[in-house]
């Protein structure tokens, strides 16, 4: 039996990471669906968080339902949803969208400008990255465009192992322009505070569950939430032992949430 920490009694709601925590690729983690149902039956409000930038909000929700996860569309709080909220705060800026085709529908309300935009919105574009693309973005930013990075992840877990993520390209663009990107996704405080607002709970009553020590646990702790690290997805023991970030609780998988809540 996993030992239950005293702070668990104060937790009312949870922010649960998706890829690596509830599933990897198209494979559901054993017991994940049952754990989500258990939490809902216990009356805990939930939000399901992700830095995924390659799917529209509707496409992501469809994936979750096909995997058999008992999730409502309004409970999915991904980086695309957070980015749209951020752009609304900018009063319809002219945007250059460097995102895959799927999420473009979610940004359709904002004016598009591929020559002299006010904001460059950057998501995961996979193998599209090359010198010409980086130089084009460099010119836009040097002409005054703000860099809005949907996230700045280092790597993610696939069914084939770890893969380099788009954070490497964001860091390169920041270096050559001497500009700092506005990062929307985890582990930014912006993302977690928007998620807390959506959940309607204060930080000290919310726990984050995830497989990424920096993005999930570190981000959660910086805004006053507790962080629960699962040993699935991108989890590597060596990263935990060598990091100044320490989770408040570690579980073998999301299935073990039924033992805690």
Mean predicted confidence (pLDDT) in 43-57? 93
Mean predicted confidence (pLDDT) in 22-36? 95
Residue 1 has pLDDT above 60, yes or no: no
Considering only residues 153 and 104, tell me which one the structure prediction assigns the higher pLDDT. Answer: 104
Decide if 49 is inside a domain.
Answer: yes
Query: d(Cα 116, Cα 97) in Å, to the nearest integer?
Result: 12
Residue 158 has pLDDT above 80, yes or no: no
Decide if 86 is inside a domain.
Answer: no
What pLDDT band is residue 242 in, cutting at 50, 70 and 90?
confident
Query: d(Cα 205, Cα 202) in Å, to the nearest integer?
Result: 6
What pLDDT band is residue 30 in, cutting at 50, 70 and 90?
very high
Helix (H, G, I), strand (E, B) or coil at 70: coil
Question: Which CATH number is 192's domain given?
Answer: 3.40.50.1000
* Same structural domain, 236 and 161: no
Mean predicted confidence (pLDDT) in 117-139? 95
What pLDDT band is residue 163 in, cutting at 50, 70 and 90?
confident
Place of tokens 């599933």: 23
Decide if 202 is inside a domain.
Answer: yes
* Same structural domain, 175 and 100: yes
Helix (H, G, I), strand (E, B) or coil at 204: helix
- Of 154, 182, 210, the residue that ends a domain is 182
Decide if 109 is inside a domain.
Answer: yes
* Same structural domain, 177 and 115: yes
Could you give phi then psi for residue 163, rounded to 5 degrees?
-130, 145
* Same structural domain, 102 and 168: yes
What pLDDT band is residue 154 in, cutting at 50, 70 and 90?
confident
Report the alpha-carbon angle 193-197-203, nearest 5: 60
Residue 13 has pLDDT above 60, yes or no: yes
- Of 152, 182, 212, the residue that ends a domain is 182
What pLDDT band is residue 161 in, cutting at 50, 70 and 90?
confident
* Same structural domain, 193 and 176: no
Query: d(Cα 155, Cα 165) in Å, to the nearest integer?
Result: 4
- Of 151, 182, 213, the residue that ends a domain is 182
Contact 69, 28 (CB under 8 A): yes
Query: d(Cα 113, Cα 95) in Å, to the nearest integer?
Result: 5
Residue 51 has pLDDT above 80, yes or no: yes
* Same structural domain, 133 and 199: no
> 101 lies in which domain range?
92-182
Decide if 129 is inside a domain.
Answer: yes
Query: Can you spell out the DSSP letters for 169-195?
Result: HHHHHHHHHT---EE-STT-HHHHHHH
Report the run of H or E that residue 252 belongs to, with start and end: none
Other beta carbons within 10 angstroms of residue 242's beta carbon come to: 9
* Same structural domain, 200 and 74: yes
* Same structural domain, 102 and 71: no
Decide if 1 is inside a domain.
Answer: no
Average pLDDT of the chain to the nearest whole number: 93
Beta bridge pairs of residue 228: 209, 249
* Same structural domain, 174 and 134: yes
pLDDT reported for residue 54: 87
Mean predicted confidence (pLDDT) in 69-84? 94
Query: d(Cα 100, Cα 119) in Å, to the nearest integer?
Result: 17
Q: For 193-229, what is each residue's pLDDT tens digit?
A: 989 999 999 999 999 999 999 999 999 999 999 999 9
Contact 90, 182 (CB under 8 A): no
Mean predicted confidence (pLDDT) in 5-11? 96
Decide if 47 is inside a domain.
Answer: yes
Decide if 100 is inside a domain.
Answer: yes
* Same structural domain, 173 and 190: no
* Same structural domain, 195 and 75: yes
For the chain, how many structural domains are there in total?
2
Which residues, other chains included, contact 63 with Cβ-Cβ below 8 Å and sequence gap of 6+? 55
Mean predicted confidence (pLDDT) in 36-54? 95
What pLDDT band is residue 92 in, cutting at 50, 70 and 90?
confident
Which among 226, 180, 177 is positioned nearest to 201, based on CA atoms? 226
The DSSP symbol for 215 reads I
* Same structural domain, 206 and 247: yes
């Amino acid at each position: 039996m996993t030992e239950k920490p005293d702070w668990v009694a104060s937790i009312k709601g949870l922010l649960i990471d998706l890829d690596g925590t509830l599933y990897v690729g198209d494979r559901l983690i054993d017991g994940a669906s049952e754990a989500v149902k258990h939490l809902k039956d216990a009356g805990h409000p939930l939000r399901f968080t992700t830095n995924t930038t390659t799917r529209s909000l509707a496409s992501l929700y469809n994936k979750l339902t096909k995997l058999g996860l008992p999730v409502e569309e309004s409970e999915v709080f991904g980086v695309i949803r957070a980015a749209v909220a951020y752009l609304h705060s900018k009063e319809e800026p002219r945007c250059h969208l460097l995102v895959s085709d799927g999420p473009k529908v979610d940004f359709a309300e904002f004016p598009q400008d591929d020559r002299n935009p006010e904001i460059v919105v950057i998501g995961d574009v996979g193998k599209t990255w090359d010198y010409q693309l980086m130089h084009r973005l460099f010119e836009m930013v040097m002409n005054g465009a703000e860099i809005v990075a949907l996230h700045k992840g280092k790597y993610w877990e696939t069914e084939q192992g770890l893969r380099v993520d788009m954070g490497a390209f964001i860091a390169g663009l920041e270096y050559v322009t001497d500009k700092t990107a506005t990062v929307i996704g985890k582990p930014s405080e912006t993302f977690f505070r928007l998620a807390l607002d959506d959940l309607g709970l204060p930080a000290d009553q919310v726990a984050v569950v995830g497989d990424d020590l920096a993005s999930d646990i570190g981000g959660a702790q910086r805004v006053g939430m507790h962080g629960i690290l699962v040993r699935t997805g991108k989890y590597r023991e060596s990263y935990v032992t060598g990091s100044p970030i320490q989770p408040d609780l570690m579980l073998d998988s999301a299935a073990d949430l039924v033992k805690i809540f």
